[in-house]
Chains A and B, each alone.
Chain A
Amino acid sequence: MTQTMAPSDGRAWRRFKRNKGAVLGAITVIVIALLALFAPVLAPHDPDMPFKSRTLTGAGVPIGPQREFPLGADPLGRCELSRLLYGGRVSLAVALAATLLLAIVGTSIGVVSGYFGGWTDTALMRVVDVLLSFPFLLVCMAINKIVARPGIWVLFLVLGFLSWTGLARQVRARTMQVRSLEFVVAARALGASHSRIIVRHVLPNVLSLVIVLCTTLVAEMIIVESVLSFLGVGVVPPTSSWGSMLQESDPLLRTVPRLLAVPGLAITATVVAFNLLGEGLRDALDPKA
Chain B
Amino acid sequence: MTSFLLRRILAALAIVWAVSTLSFFVTLKLGDPVATILGPRASARDRENVRRYYGLDQPTYVQYGRYMARLSKGDLGMSYRYRRPVSTLIAERFPRTLLLAVMSIAFEVIVGVALGALAAARKGTRTDQTIMAGAFVTMSLPTFITGKVFLLVLAYYFGLFPIGGYGVTMLDHVYHALLPALAISLLSTAAYARLARNELVEILQAEYVRTARAKGLSEPVIVVKHALRNAMLPIVTSLGLSFGALFTGAIVTESIFAWPGVGRLAFDSVSGLDVPVIVGCVIFGSFGIQLGNLLSDVAYAFLDPRIRHG
**Contact surface of A with B, Cβ cutoff 8 Å:** 129-130, 132-139, 141-142, 145-146, 219, 223, 226-227, 230-233, 246, 253-254, 257, 260, 264, 267-268, 271-272, 275-276, 279
Q: When A and B form their complex, which 3 residue pairs have the shortest distance between CB atoms, in order from nearest?
A: A135-B285, A272-B140, A133-B286
How far is the CB of B250 from the nearest CB of chain A, in Å? 9
B251 and A260 contacting across the interface, CB-CB below 8 Å? no
Interface residues of B (CB under 8 A from A): 11, 15-16, 18-19, 22, 30, 136-137, 139-142, 144-145, 148-149, 151-152, 156, 247-249, 251-252, 255, 266-267, 270-271, 273, 278, 281-282, 285-286, 288-290
- Assembly CA distance A279 to B289 (angstroms): 28
Q: How many A-B residue pairs have CB under 8 A?
A: 100
A134, B19: Cβ atoms closer than 8 Å? yes
Give chain A nearest CB distance to B102 CB in angstroms: 19
B284 shortest CB reach to chain A, Å: 8
User: Which residues from chain A contact B149 at a C-beta distance below 8 Å?
Assistant: 260, 264
Q: Is the CB of B270 within 8 A of A137?
A: no
Having A232-B271, A246-B148, A264-B148, one finds 17 other A-B pairs with CB under 8 Å, namely A129-B11, A129-B15, A135-B281, A135-B288, A137-B249, A139-B282, A142-B270, A145-B271, A226-B142, A227-B142, A231-B267, A246-B145, A254-B152, A254-B156, A267-B142, A268-B142, A276-B136
Roughly how many angstroms separate A172 CA and B278 CA in the complex, as a whole number?
A: 33
Q: Which residues of B contact A139 (CB under 8 A)?
A: 282
B274 shortest CB reach to chain A, Å: 11
Q: Is chain A's interface secondary structure helix, strand, loop, or mixed overall?
A: helix
Given the interface pairs A253-B152, A260-B152, the reply to whether A138 lies near B270 with Cβ below 8 Å is yes
Contact among B16, B142, B281 for A133, CB-based, below 8 A: B16
User: Nearest residue in A to B15 (C-beta to C-beta)?
Assistant: A133
Report which of A130, A232, A257, A264 forms a contact with B18, defined as CB distance below 8 A. Answer: A130
Docked pose: A138 CA to B251 CA in angstroms: 8
> Are the CB atoms of B255 and A231 closer together than 8 Å?
yes
**In whole angstroms, what is the CA distance A266 to B34 when docked?**
43
The residues of A that contact B148 with a CB separation of less than 8 Å are 246, 253, 260, 264
Complex contacts, B15 vs chain A, CB 8 Å: 129-130, 133
Residues of A near B152 (CB, < 8 A) are 253-254, 257, 260
Question: Taking the nearest CB of chain B, how far is it from the CB of A21, in angstroms?
Answer: 8
Chain B residues within 8 Å of A230, by CB? 144
Docked-complex contact B142 and A223, CB < 8 angstroms? yes
- A219 to B281 alpha-carbon distance, docked (Å): 27
